[in-house]
Structure 1
Amino acid sequence: MDAIALGDLIDVVRSPALHLLAVPGESAVRIGEVLLYDAHAPLPTAPGALLLAVGVRAADAGPLVRAAAAAGMAGVVVRGSAGAPVEEAEACGTALLAVEDGSAWHHVHLTLASAVGARPEQSDSLADLFALADAIAAATGGATTLEDPHQRILAYSTVPGQPVDEDRRQGILGLQVPGGLENAAQYQSVFAASGPVRLPPLTPDDLPRLAVAVRAGDEPLGSVWVVDTGALAPDADKTLTQGASTAALLLLRARAAHELARHRNTDLLRRLLDGTTDPSDARRHWGTGPFRVAAFRLDGGGAGSAPDSEWTALRLLDVVRLQCEARSGRHACVLLDGVVYALLPVAEGRGAGDGDQQHRPLAEHVVRRAGDALRVPVRAALGGVVADLAGVTDSRADADLVLRLLHDGLPVATVDEVRPRVTLLQLAEVLRERPELRRGSWQRVRAADAGHGTEYARTLAAWLDAGCDVARAAKELSVHPNTCRYRLRQAGRQFGIDLDDPDERLVLWLQLRTLSGSGDSASP
């Protein structure tokens, strides 16, 4: 998996609320994922993970630090530094970080996970945005933030001594501007204006703002906000306008870098799924396993015209990618022949059952969200868990087979849940490719039914499905048991079938189920 050096992580986050208390001195610490501690679940083996000590006081975190070190984790984050187990962390060779007492764990998790998932070029762009915020703050005389169109804080100034209010503190802590109708009205006025706008405080405890929209032509890219203490520089408006132009260039560059990275990621996954790339190339990008492939497909009944179908499939790709980013951490998604494939990691040290617990809720959530958003039923199939990227083609093959079995009553399934039916599908393909395996009494049975209107094939299939129980077969066929017995005797005499021979019964059942369509929907 991609990992970021601990020092780079701290630089990317750039939060005064995050403190480094202890770091191993012999080797560089690299962070690959951020986990929330759950006191009610076993601690997973997760090399390179940064564990957030949720529900554990800093002074009581010593045992957790030792357990995290034993699990191979790179470090632990505690809330507050008073009594933090610095000596235990140093003795275990584990990094120890602290966030301020008032920090909300879900905000900390979002911030750190976003920083871990950033590409190097994104990190460079992020550093440039922070530098720009500092430059604007120094030139205008007010603390500055840069935001995206969704009011997420992308960067903020750290110039010492500049007054801030509670709104700024809370926004930086969660990297999200606090909501509210009055706040929304201010944003509308900023994006409606052609230049900087001076805005009054929203509460008596807040400070006024000077704000300007960041645009590329008519497209809004974000906004820049400066806290106005009443002592801003005379040319603050001009400085802010110039800063917005620079911010637009940086945001466009960051977008281009992100799209380039996504394109490379998608192309690599496409070749990995097709088996046309060396798995070692993919390992350098996604690391080692275990992994599994999930496949998502729109139900054909709502496809519509070809352009509409393609557009809806692209929207499905967006939904899957968004939900995977929110719930699965590192992942990759690609659209191939109308099917959205997602490469999902399984937490190291866990097996297929744990993978099901991890990924099945994700698949069910995507099916619900995508179905509601696209107004088309969505199916989701989970391939088998494979130990390494070299086995991803097998997991994809599993997922493709499972997709063929899904219906309204079974919109989501793992390959293990439908393994018998998947095996029948695979047997059907083998039988259809091998003419010598298609020969047998079933062909004579089907020909007689077609020529004389009899139901020998249906009766034989029902009897074999019922485990050779005449009463159950008769009930399924809605006929009298004696009628069922008569048909079976006639089939044996007319077509030379020895129904007492278990081998003959097995071969006949397989051929009827997989070749003639006399069985249930397991036949393709």
Structure 2
Amino acid sequence: MRDLLAFDDSGTLRLLLAPAGQDVAVRGVVFGDEVGTRSAEGCAVLVVGPPVSCAEAVAAVRGAAARGACAVVLRESQGVLPAPDVLAAAEESGLALLCRAPWADWTDTAALLRSALSYAGTEPSGESPEEPAESEDTVGGLSALASAIAEYTGGAITIEDTRFRVLAHSATGPETDGVRRATILGGRVPERRVAELRRSGILHALWTSRDVIHRPAHGDSPERLVIAVRNGLEVLGSIWVASDGRGLSPHAPDALRRAAEAAAPHLVRHRLRESAAVRRRDHALRGLLYGLGDQRTHAWSLGLSADAPCAVLVAERADGARPSADRTLDVLALQASSYRSTVLVLRERDRLLILLPVGQAQDRDVARLARELDTLAVSLPAGVTVRVGAGPVVASALGAAASYEEAVLVVRVLRERRSRGGTEGEARCATAAEAGPSLDVLRVLDAVRPLWEAGAGPVHDLVRTDLAAGGELVRSLAAYLDASGDVTRAARRLVLHPNTLRYRLRRARERFGVDIDDPDTRLLLTLAVRLTGGSPRP
């Protein structure tokens, strides 16, 4: 157990209780729902269900103990202490009790533990020159492993992740080819090289094969061997061997196969460390924007000064069902991140949340970024509509939640303006100041919604009956009210003859007893059509 916890340098796991100490042997990892079909003897059981703060987790702890488990992992609830009954159950059962960080997920946690077991369970070898010694790698990490593989294969080594970034490489000799030199200097495989590998089918073979792939020398490119590094079915990266001006060892393929096994735990840890950092950042940013947890801690973990002014922007895609909408938001996220090094972007399913620390320009700074995102979205070939709402500048990062709430309201204003017949240009982008009184109107509507839903009377009867029949009369009333009682303008908006609209207005009075000439009735009708989404179609 002690070795597993030492392997976790990403903060994914936290040990709450170890009644038998940390030197207990861990033989495997199973999920709680697998325990019924396989043995849990000596295993750490991952409980996908109630959190450690919930007393319902007691049954899971006792069930794992009854099946011979040595440890149980529960998920942690943000800011909530473990339930005393759960701690007591683990103490009585003799189980080690661990909790998974809120920003992690179960897939990453299982991969972490299984890789740690593999790493801790590999005995140092070094008996033959074909096997890179695990003990060397333990001391020197991937760089030491790359050097060891170079010695055993007789070639130059690069170890890369699935995004073709160089994680480690062996020493570079005078005969190094141009591709290797450019890859090492740039920290990643050049795009033209990746495109070439894709066209030639090498990448397809690499990601689908479990064996060493041989690429003969061609022109200035020397002979190469490559193998994918895997964790079960998942590809983590690859190891490349180039002849580097001398012939490769006849044992190079065998050494490369063993090296891939030795590299797997390190690449898992690299991936987990990278994803953990992103998850922790997203967790802190989400907490800051949503007003959850300790705001000062969130700001500190994001590297934000508590007294630095900032604003929040929300970019929401309008065409959520189209695959191109995802790509548009990805491009906007890159644009926002490049606007300034201090900008923080949170990518959610249908929108981006952007925290912008502002400089001297303040409001102009926020408006400029909003317009940039709007202009970029319009210029993309995907043709996806994106609405960008910018909240006001707040004096401190601790007030980011207030700016976020206003930015969300601005997006709602843009959406409603568009649904009520606004032009495309005015319905895409706005700041809180530009949204004007529409923000207060939305706040009023949100406040009176419970009163409307609980109410009754002629206006309620008209709206509910007509919406159930398709909403034609409600849309006609909405257009009439928006046009300030101008029948001709409202009819033009609805593409109707004015007499048709007059007939519908008479029907509202005769059938439902709704007098639209009465000021109070008009106010209630205005609120009703806005609350029920009965605005006229553009």
- TM-score, L = length of structure 1: 0.52
- CA gap of 1:325–1:354, structure 2 versus 1, over 3 A, is closer
Distance 2:398 2:489 in 1: 46
3-state SS of 2:483 partner: helix
Q: CA deviation at 1:333?
A: 2.0
Distance verdict in 2 for CA 1:213–1:473, change over 3 Å: closer
Alignment coverage as a number of residue pairs: 350
Q: Distance in 1 between matches of 2:247 and 2:493?
A: 87
Residue 173 in structure 1 maps to residue 173 in structure 2: no
The whole-number CA distance in structure 2 between the counterparts of 1:299 and 1:361 is 18
Q: 1:230 corresponds to which residue?
A: 246
CA distance in 2, matches of 1:164, 1:456: 78
Q: Deviations over 1:47-69 (max 9, x none)?
A: xxxxxxxxxxxxxxxxxxxxxxx
Matched residue of 1:255: which SS? helix
Query: In the TM superposition, what is the alpha-carbon distance from 1:284 to its structure 2 partner?
Result: 0.7
Q: Which amino acid aligns with 2:278?
A: R
Distance 1:473 1:196, change over 3 A: closer
**1:400 maps to what in 2?**
408
For the residues of structure 2 that align with 1:320 and 1:391, how far apart are their CA atoms?
24
Partner residue in 2 for 1:214: 229
Equivalent position of 2:314 in the other structure? 295
Please state whether the residue corresponding to 2:277 is helix, strand or coil. helix
Q: Select which of 443, 462, 465 maps to 1:426.
A: 443
Cα offset, 1:321, TM superposition: 6.2
Alignment partner of 1:462 is 2:483: yes
> Which residue identity lines up with residue 293 of structure 1 in the other structure?
V
Q: Secondary structure at the match of 2:392?
A: coil
Alignment of 1:256-295 (within 5 A): 256-286=272-302, 287-288=304-305, 289-295=308-314
Match of 2:158 in 1: 145
Instruction: State the Cα distance separating 1:280 from its structure 2 match.
Output: 0.9
Q: Would the aligned equivalents of 2:313 and 2:389 in 1 still touch at CA under 8 Å?
A: yes
User: SS of 1:265's equivalent?
Assistant: helix
Q: Secondary structure at the match of 1:215?
A: strand
Q: Which amino acid aligns with 2:353?
A: A
SS state at 1:240 partner: helix
1:323/1:258 Cα in 2 relative to 1: closer, same or farther (>3 Å)? farther
Query: 2: distance between equivalents of 1:359 and 1:433?
Result: 34
Check 1:339–1:258 CA distance in 2 against 1; reply closer, same or farther (3 A cut): same
Q: Within 1, Cα distance between the matches of 2:222 and 2:516?
A: 93
User: Residues 521 and 380 from structure 1, CA distance in 2 versus in 1: closer, same or farther, beyond 3 angstroms?
Assistant: farther
Alpha-carbon deviation of 1:458? 7.2
Question: How has the CA–CA distance of structure 1 residues 350 and 193 changed in structure 2, closer, same or farther, with 3 Å as cutoff?
Answer: same
Q: Tell me, yes or no, if the aligned pair for 1:214 and 1:245 is still in contact at 8 Å.
A: yes
Query: Partner of 2:259: helix, strand, or coil?
Result: helix
Work out whether 1:358 is the aligned partner of 2:377. no
Q: For 1:392, what is the secondary structure of its paired residue?
A: helix
Is residue 264 of structure 2 the alignment partner of residue 253 of structure 1? Answer: no
Matched, 1:389 2:410: no
Unaligned 5+ runs, structure 2: 1-137, 467-472, 507-514
Note the C-alpha offset of 1:169. Answer: 1.9
Task: State how 1:38-437 maps to structure 2 within 5 Å.
Answer: 128-157=141-170, 159=171, 161=173, 163-178=175-190, 179=192, 182-184=196-198, 185=200, 186-191=202-207, 193-203=209-219, 205-228=220-243, 229-233=245-249, 235-286=251-302, 287-288=304-305, 289-297=308-316, 299=318, 302=321, 330-333=343-346, 335=348, 340-346=351-357, 348-362=359-373, 365=376, 372=382, 379-405=387-413, 406=415, 407=418, 409=424, 410-430=427-447
Q: How big is the shift at 1:390?
A: 1.7
Aligned equivalents of 1:495 and 1:521: distance in 2?
Answer: 17
Deviation at residue 164 of structure 1 after TM alignment: 0.9
Q: Identity, % of aligned pairs? A: 31
Question: What is the SS of the residue equivalent to 1:249?
Answer: helix
Question: Which SS does the other structure have where 1:404 is aligned?
Answer: helix
Counterpart residue number, 2:25 = none
Q: 1:363 to 1:391 in 2, by over 3 A?
A: farther
Say if 2:339 and 2:369, in contact at 8 Å, map to a contact too: no
1:201 alignment partner, SS class: coil
How far does residue 217 in structure 1 lie from its aligned partner after superposition?
Answer: 2.4
SS at match of 2:437: helix
- 3-state SS of paired residue (1:242): helix
Cα distance in 2, alignment partners of residues 472 and 479 from structure 1: 9
Distance in structure 2 (CA, Å) of the matches to 1:211 and 1:270: 41
RMSD: 5.1
Q: Deviations over 1:85-130 (max 9, x none)?
A: xxxxxxxxxxxxxxxxxxxxxxxxxxxxxxxxxxxxxxxx9x9334
Between the aligned partners of 1:340 and 1:461, the Cα distance in structure 2 is 30
SS of residue matched to 2:410: helix
Q: Is the 8 A contact 1:209 1:225 kept in 2?
A: yes
Amino acid at match of 1:419: G
Q: Could you tell me whether the CA contact under 8 Å between 1:275 and 1:393 is conserved in 2?
A: yes
User: 2: distance between equivalents of 1:138 and 1:174?
Assistant: 24
